[in-house]
Amino acid sequence: MTSDRKARDDRGPGEPRKPGAGQSNKPQWANGLRQLYDSVVEEDIPDQFKDLLSRLDAKD
């Protein structure tokens, strides 16, 4: 939905952030944010959430 402006808008002030674009200028910790996020995404979903959704589904 934002494809036409994306190339420009994905840049912070003077700061390339697209992977591949100006990789060398990125701070060394830049992919740490992604790692932090992905490390949680990759965890197994605790049963409490599956149970909750099943309960809600059964109730309707």
List contacts with another protein (CB under 8 A).
Answer: 1-2, 5-6, 9-10, 12-13, 15, 17, 27-30, 32-43, 45-46, 48-50, 52-53, 56-57, 60
Beta-carbon neighbour count of residue 11 at 10 Å?
14
Q: Please check whether residue 60 is in contact with residue 51, taking contact to mean a CB–CB distance below 8 angstroms.
A: no
From the CB of 21, what's the least distance to another protein, in Å? 15
Q: Please check whether residue 17 is in contact with residue 30, taking contact to mean a CB–CB distance below 8 angstroms.
A: yes
Residue 26 DSSP symbol: S
From the CB of 49, what's the least distance to another protein, in Å? 5
From the CB of 17, what's the least distance to another protein, in Å? 8
